[in-house]
C-alpha cells in the first residue's frame, strides 16, 4: 500500500523554470536577460573579429587616402566603420578581391549584426513594454473567471468542456509551466500564461483575487498541494477543485484548502469495472456528463416560485437529488420533501430543454 506523501516533501525549494521563448501572452527566454545579452555581445564581438581577420588578409586591396599605408590599427578602424555602415571614405577597398569580400562576405554579416541589435532592443525594451501593457489590460478586464492550473490531458479536457457548456474562452485562464501546454491552450482559444502555478506572482497575474473558481490539475499530487495552499492564501473564498492521482493524498489536498477533490484514475476505474456488466450505463453517464450529450445534469438553487411545491412541479427536468443545509436527500426521498428556500436541486434534463430554460431565466 502506498504511503501518503510526507509533508516535508512539500517544503522543498521549487525548481526554477526557464521556459523557451515564445509569443503567448508574455514571454521568457531560455536564459536570464543578463546572460542572453552577454551571449549576444560575445557573438557580435566574434563576428567583428571574423571580419577583421578577413580584412587583414585582404589588406593589400585597401587604400588609405591619408597616409597611403594600411596598418594594424587601420584595419581595426576600417572593420568597425564598415560593419557599422559609417563609411568616412578615408580607407576604401580598391582591388577586386577586397570589393568582392566586402560585398559578398561583410555585407551579410553587417545585416546580421543589425538584426541582433534590433532584436535585442525589441526584446528588452519594446516587447516588455507591450507585454506589460497587455497584462495590465487583461487584469483590469478579468473578473469571475476560471483559472486552470496545468494543461495536460485532464486540464485540457476540463477547459474544453467548460467552453462547450457556455463559458467564454476569454474568461478561462490557463497556467502551465510547459511551453507546449501554453501553446496548446492559446491555440484552443484560451488565455495562456507561462509559469509555475505555485508561485504567487503568476497567480496574481491570472487575477486570482477576482476569480470565480480554480481547477488544479498539475499532474503531480505534491505540486497540487503547493498550488492549493498558495491559492487559498491569496484568496480564502475562491472555489478550488483539485485533481488527485493517489487516494491517500486526498486528505492532504483537502487540508490544503480544496473544496472539491476529483480522482480521475479512480473514476475511470469505476467506469471500466461497470462497463463489464453494464455497458449501457457507461454510455449514459458519458452522455450525462458531457455538453454534447442529449441529456445533462443540472445543479441549481431552488427558485422562489418552486418553494413549497413538490419536486415533480420543478421546471426544467426531473429532480434526482436535493441538498439542504449541507445534508443530501436522495432520489427516493425527494418526492416526499417539498422544496424549501435555499435548497440546491440536482436535475436530469434534456440538453435542449435546459438551454431553453436558462435562456428564459436570463431574459
Per-residue pLDDT reduced to its tens digit, 205-214: 899 999 999 9
State the pLDDT at residue 138.
75
**Whether residue 157 has pLDDT greater than 80:** yes
Higher pLDDT, 144 or 91: 144
d(CA 8, CA 5): 9
Residue positions counted in the chain: 363
Q: What is the pLDDT of residues 297-351, one digit of tens each?
A: 888 898 888 888 888 888 878 888 888 888 888 777 877 788 889 999 888 888 7
Across all residues in the chain, what is the average pLDDT? 80
Residue 159 has a pLDDT of 94
Q: What is the C-alpha to C-alpha distance for residues 242 and 225, in angstroms, rounded to an integer? A: 9
Whether 184 has a pLDDT exceeding 80, the answer reads: yes
Q: Is the pLDDT of residue 10 over 50?
A: no
Distance CA 69, CA 226 (A): 71
Looking at mean pLDDT, say which of 88-97, 275-284, 348-357 comes out highest.
275-284
Confidence class of residue 23 from pLDDT cuts 50, 70 and 90? very low
**Cell 587583414, residue?**
56
Mapped onto helix, strand or coil, the DSSP state of residue 14 is coil
Q: In what order do the strands lie in the sheet with 213-216?
A: 191-194, 172-176, 146-149, 213-216, 239-243, 260-262
pLDDT, position 243: 93
Residue 268 has a CB neighbour count (10 Å cut-off) of 10
State mean pLDDT over 14-39.
50
CA atoms within 13 A on the CB side of 125: 6
- Res. 13 pLDDT band, cuts 50 70 90: very low
Indicate whether 93 pLDDT > 50: yes
Q: Which CA distances in Å does 37 have to 18, 32, 116, 121? A: 16, 9, 10, 10
Average pLDDT over residues 149-156: 93
The pTM of the whole model exceeds 0.85: no
Beta partners for residue 329, in sequence order:
322
Task: Say how far apart CA 192 and CA 188 lie, in whole Å.
Answer: 10
Residue 12 has pLDDT above 60, yes or no: no
Q: Is 129 helix (H, G, I), strand (E, B) or coil?
A: helix
Contact between residue 311 and residue 337 where contact means Cβ atoms under 8 Å apart: yes
**Which segment of 58-67, 120-129, 229-238, 338-347 scores lowest on mean pLDDT?**
120-129
Q: Record the cell numbers describing residue 362, joined without a space.
A: 436570463
Is it the case that residue 5 has pLDDT exceeding 70?
Answer: no
Local structure of 224: helix, strand or coil: helix
Q: Given pLDDT bands bounded at 50, 70 and 90, which one contains residue 269?
A: confident
225 — pLDDT class (breaks 50, 70, 90): very high
Task: Report how far residue 232's alpha carbon sits from residue 253's, in angstroms, rounded to the nearest whole number.
Answer: 11
CA 149 – CA 250 distance, rounded (Å)? 18
**What pLDDT is recorded for position 228?**
95
CATH 1.10.287.70 assigned to 33-140: yes
Write b or e for each residue in 59-88: b if 16 or more Cβ atoms lie within 10 A of its Cβ, otherwise e: eebbbeeeeeebeeebbeebbeebbeeeee
Spatial CA neighbour of 13 closest among 216, 222, 194: 222
Q: Which H/E stretch holds residue 296?
A: strand 295-301
Give the Cα-Cα-Cα angle 323, 325, 328 (nearest 5 degrees). 30
Q: How far apart are CA 202 and CA 28, in angstroms?
A: 13
Cell of 272: 471500466
The confidence band for 123, taking pLDDT boundaries of 50, 70 and 90, is: low
What does the CA dihedral 170, 177, 264, 210 come to, rounded to 10 degrees? -40
352: Cβ–Cβ under 8 A, 6 or more apart, which residues? none
Q: Under CATH, what is the fold of the domain 142-262?
A: Rossmann fold (3.40.50)
Q: What is the mean pLDDT of residues 88-113?
A: 81
CATH 3.40.50.720 in the chain: give the residue spans.
142-262
pLDDT of residue 151: 94
CATH 1.10.287.70 maps onto the chain at 33-140
Q: What does the pLDDT read at residue 27?
A: 37
Instruction: Give the pLDDT confidence score for residue 113 in this predicted structure.
Output: 81
pLDDT at residue 41 tops 90:
no
Q: What is the pLDDT of residue 139?
A: 72
| 227 has a pLDDT exceeding 90 | yes
For residues 97 and 102, what is the distance between their CA atoms, to the nearest angstrom? 9
Stretch(es) of the chain classified as CATH 3.30.70.1450: 294-362
C-alpha cell at 118: 534590433
More confident residue, 303 or 357: 303
What are the beta bridge partners of residue 240? 214
CATH of the domain spanning 294-362, picked from 3.30.1330.40, 3.40.50.300, 3.40.50.150, 3.30.70.1450? 3.30.70.1450
> What pLDDT does 244 receive?
92
Q: How far apart are CA 310 and CA 147, in angstroms?
A: 38
26-50 average pLDDT score: 71
Res 149: pLDDT? 96
What is the rounded CA–CA span in Å between residue 114 and residue 102? 16
For residue 344, the SS3 value is strand
Q: Which of 333, 313, 314 is nearest to 324 (CA)?
A: 333
Amino acid at each position: 500500500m502506498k504511503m501518503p506523501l510526507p509533508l516535508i516533501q512539500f517544503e522543498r525549494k521549487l525548481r526554477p523554470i526557464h521556459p523557451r521563448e515564445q509569443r503567448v501572452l508574455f514571454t521568457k527566454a531560455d536564459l536570464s536577460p543578463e546572460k542572453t545579452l552577454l551571449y549576444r555581445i560575445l557573438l557580435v564581438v566574434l563576428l567583428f573579429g571574423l571580419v577583421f581577420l578577413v580584412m587583414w588578409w585582404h589588406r593589400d586591396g585597401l587604400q588609405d587616402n591619408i597616409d597611403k599605408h594600411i596598418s594594424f590599427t587601420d584595419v581595426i578602424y576600417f572593420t568597425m566603420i564598415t560593419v557599422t555602415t559609417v563609411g568616412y571614405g578615408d580607407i576604401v577597398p580598391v582591388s577586386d578581391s577586397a570589393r568582392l569580400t566586402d560585398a559578398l562576405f561583410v555585407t551579410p554579416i553587417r545585416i546580421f549584426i543589425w538584426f541582433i541589435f534590433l532584436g535585442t532592443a525589441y526584446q528588452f525594451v519594446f516587447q516588455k513594454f507591450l507585454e506589460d501593457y497587455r497584462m495590465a489590460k487583461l487584469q483590469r478586464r478579468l473578473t469571475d473567471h476560471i483559472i486552470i492550473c496545468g494543461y495536460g490531458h485532464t486540464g485540457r479536457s476540463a477547459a474544453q468542456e467548460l467552453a462547450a457548456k457556455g463559458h467564454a474562452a476569454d474568461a478561462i485562464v490557463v497556467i502551465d509551466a510547459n511551453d507546449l501546454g501554453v501553446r496548446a491552450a492559446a491555440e484552443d482559444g484560451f488565455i495562456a500564461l507561462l509559469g509555475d502555478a505555485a508561485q504567487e506572482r503568476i497567480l496574481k497575474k491570472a487575477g486570482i483575487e477576482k476569480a470565480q473558481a480554480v481547477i488544479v490539475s498539475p499532474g503531480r499530487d505534491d505540486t497540487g498541494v503547493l498550488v492549493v495552499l498558495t491559492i487559498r492564501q491569496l484568496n480564502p473564498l475562491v472555489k478550488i477543485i483539485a485533481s488527485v492521482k493517489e487516494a491517500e493524498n486526498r486528505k492532504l489536498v483537502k487540508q490544503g484548502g480544496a473544496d472539491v477533490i476529483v480522482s480521475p484514475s479512480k473514476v475511470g476505474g469505476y467506469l471500466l469495472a461497470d462497463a463489464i456488466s453494464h455497458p449501457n450505463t457507461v454510455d449514459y453517464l458519458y452522455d450525462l456528463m458531457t455538453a454534447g450529450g442529449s441529456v445533462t445534469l443540472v445543479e441549481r438553487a431552488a427558485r422562489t416560485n418552486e418553494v413549497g411545491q413538490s419536486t415533480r412541479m420543478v421546471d426544467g427536468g426531473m429532480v434526482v437529488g436535493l441538498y439542504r443545509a449541507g445534508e443530501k436527500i436522495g432520489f427516493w426521498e425527494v418526492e416526499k420533501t417539498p422544496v424549501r428556500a435555499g435548497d440546491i436541486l440536482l436535475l436530469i434534463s434534456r440538453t435542449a430543454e435546459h438551454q431553453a430554460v436558462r435562456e428564459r431565466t436570463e431574459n
